[in-house]
Amino acid sequence: MRKSIEFRAEIQYKVYLFSGVYANPHVAGTLSFASKAPCYVSGPGSVPCTGVQGDVLDRVFGLFTAVVFLFTALLAGCGPLPGGEATVTAVTSVPSGLTITHTTSSSVILTWIPSTGAVFSYTIYRNGVEVGHTSNAGVDTLAPTTFTDTNLSPITTYYYSVSSATLLGEESDRSNPVAATTIAEGDAGPPVATVNQTTTSSITISWIPSGVVPYLVSYRIYRNGTQIAATTGTMYVDTNLSPGTTYTYTITTSTESPQSTQLLATTQQSAGGGGSTTTSLKAISTLAGTAGSRNGSVDGMGSAAAFGLPYGITRVGTDLYVTDSSSHTIRKIETSTGKVTTLAGRNNVRGSTDGAGAAASFNGPRGIATDGTNLYVADSSNNTIRKIVIATGEVSTLAGTAGARGATDAVRAQASFFTPRGIATDGSNVYVADSGNQVIRKIVLATGEVSTLAGKAGTRGKTDGIGAAAGFYLPYGIACYGGRLYVGDSCNHAIRAIDISTGLVSTLAGTAGKAGIYDGFGTAASFTYPDGLVVEGATLYVADTGNSTIRRIGLDSGEVVTIAGVAGSSGSLDSSGTYGTFFAPHGIMLLGSKLYVADTNNNTIRQVSLDML
């Protein structure tokens, strides 16, 4: 016999909050609510009732959009529901697309793409220090995604980043930083322009802002004395032109600065009506993916493939392997054809399962390295180091335990990490930039023994020294070459070097704590959140993430030179010169005379032909 009993019970549950910052749950408070639902009981004994479902957090915690499912086994007669514990996931994503939309001599206006999740507010940081926040005005509104920073000094460069937070104050990681330079009081100087490329029907021109004024409202482009366009970028393609025709161009800023030196450019002669031809191949091009695409992990050829925030990159022979961080997969790219396939993991499936190919799972993989036979992956959000046999796609956990963060030196699963990012290997050992712990770790492949090579766990610093006497601040990228490690010490805006045999840490280039865009020697040069590195002979290449550029460092001289990208100008432009643009590139790898770049925020893999620069 089946009977329906209606009940109303007051239930109190502890609410546990998970976020990207905490690997283990912590009590965020309690909530109480009354539920009313039919409970069906068939015969005597203990049987489950239907689940009680309610979006109880919508109004209790403002913009939290969480649904709590409560299932309980009741005795015959449907007695009162007992108290218990429920788990609620309340997280916010890192804000993306941070952009400078306007500058004056004393102010900067920022905009960004809204974060996903239970967003209550955004915090804005200038040069690493909080300067303001925006928040929602009520349950049914969204926190503003624009902010105006005022009372600034003229002709000064500032670096901005943004984080999101829940109502309970659980803050996301900060966004990739962007630079903004206030303009002078009065007119800015003329841009320095050049002709990049010509075809039978188009002319590409690019320019560099004069002085130290890289951000203005927009640039105005004039052809033969008439304005034809305005753009906030530093490159323009003029189309629908006549073959074999000479045009003159000048550039000015929207503040009507003096115009640039006049450029003369001639389109190519038509090749018998056979279509457009170009003067040269592009030094900076896109190998795979389409800029701006957010389709996640899609296999295919070249631009038909899609990525989800590609981060780390390594190579075996002529094949590239990439950590597709937000898709939680490991991708393979054939450089000869641009063919993209998935080696391990499944698109948008988070997890920590070992197995072969799609049976394995990852959670926010970042750094990747290889010894030629195996891949080693910093599975960042799992706090583990994973190993992949390239031939079979078999995935195993080399060290650490998924979900358990820490800084314990031990063997294999007994060791612990905290958001490891960069990874490198010399064939016998794996070296890890254990970012959350602010240290560099070493794993002996033969035994699985994990030790700390440099830095002190839990202590941020910038000091050079031996072992624990040295300090790091969110070390990200790491490369191994000739008995030394090179580290992109991200939040110190510096490139560090470590002698593996002694643990001696020194600063190769940049000055700890001082972000910037300048080329120079040693500490006279500056970086902004550098990450990926690759070494070849006496040359170190760096993905200068915050500046959206690729830098070259001479290891003998310490000279730093920007070889690709325009500092502070994010974009996806392929180019026959050095003025192609990137958007927060992280990973970088060298194959012959070509650099391959994981252009993270463009969701593409780019190719830089060094012999064409």
Q: How many CB atoms lie within 10 A of CB 59?
A: 10
- Scanning the structure block, which residue is given the tokens 């926010």? 364
pLDDT, tens digit, 9 for 90 and up, residues 102-128: 667 788 888 888 888 778 889 999 998
Residue 586 has pLDDT above 90, yes or no: yes
Q: Rounded distance, CA 527 to CA 66, Å?
A: 41
The answer, yes or no, to whether residue 443 has pLDDT greater than 70, is yes
For residue 49, the model assigns a pLDDT of 33
Handedness of CA 418, 133, 128, 189 (dihedral sign): positive
pLDDT one-digit tens code per residue, 45-81 = 333 333 333 333 333 333 332 332 333 223 333 333 3
The mean pLDDT of 247-251, rounded to a whole number, is 86
Residue 191 banded pLDDT, cuts 50, 70, 90: low
List beta partners, residue 365.
379
- Report phi then psi at 54, rounded to 5: -165, 140
pLDDT digits (tens, 9 = 90+) for 146-161: 888 988 888 788 999 9
Separation between Cα atoms, residue 531 and residue 495, nearest integer Å? 9
Identify the pLDDT of residue 278.
42
| Per-residue pLDDT at 58 | 30
In one letter, which amino acid is 183?
Answer: I
Across the range 270-290, mean pLDDT stands at 67
Q: Is 491 helix (H, G, I), strand (E, B) or coil?
A: helix
Q: Which residues pair with 85 in a beta bridge?
A: 14
Domain locations in the chain as residue ranges: 2-89, 96-181, 195-266, 284-612
- 499-549: pLDDT as tens digits: 999 999 999 999 998 999 899 999 999 999 999 999 999 999 999 999 999
CA distance 429 to 453: 12
Class of domain 96-181 as given by CATH: mainly beta
> In the numeric block, which tokens belong to residue 577?
């010169």
Of 179-188, 364-373, 461-470, give the lowest mean pLDDT range. 179-188
Q: Residue 272: what pLDDT?
A: 52
SS (H, E, C) 177-240: CEEEECCCCCCCCCCEEEEEEEECCCEEEEEECCCCCCCCCCEEEEECCEEEEEECCCEEEECC
| pLDDT band, residue 26 (cuts 50/70/90) | very low
What the block records as the tokens of 237 is: 């393609």
DSSP, residue by residue, 526-588: -BSSEEEEEEETTEEEEEEGGGTEEEEEETTT-EEEEEESBTTB-----BSSTT---SS--EE
Which of the 8 DSSP states describes residue 474? S
Q: What's the CATH code, domain 195-266?
A: 2.60.40.10
Q: Do domains 96-181 and 195-266 have the same CATH topology?
A: yes
Comparing CA positions, the residue from 467, 520, 462 lying closest to residue 496 is 462
Greater confidence, 307 or 50?
Answer: 307
Fold of 284-612: Neuraminidase (2.120.10)
The percentage of the chain sitting over the pLDDT mark of 90, rounded to a whole number, equals 51
Which amino acid does the sequence have at 113? Answer: I
CB 495 within 8 A of CB 514: no
168: left (phi over 0), alpha (psi -120 to 50) or beta: alpha
Residues 131-145 pLDDT 10s: 988 876 443 346 788
Mean pLDDT of all residues in 560-584: 85
